[in-house]
Structure 1
Amino acid sequence: MNRFGDYHDLHNHPHSWLSGTYYVRVPQGEDAPPGRSDRTPNAISFFDPRPQANMLAIKGDPQVDPEHRILPQGGEMLIWPAFLHHMVHVNLSHEARISISFNIVLLWRDEYLP
Structure 2
Amino acid sequence: MKDINWLKESYLTYLKEKQSNIKFLIENLQKEERIDEANLEKIKLNIVDIFSKMFNISIANNCEALKEKYLSYFDKITTPWHTNKLKAIEFGKEQESIIENIKIQEAEELKSKFKEYYNQISLD
Higher relative contact order (Cα pairs below 8 Å, separated by 6+ residues): 1
TM more than 0.5: no
TM-score by length of 1: 0.27
- Larger fraction in strand: 1
TM-score using structure 2 length: 0.25
Point out the structure with the larger helix share: 2
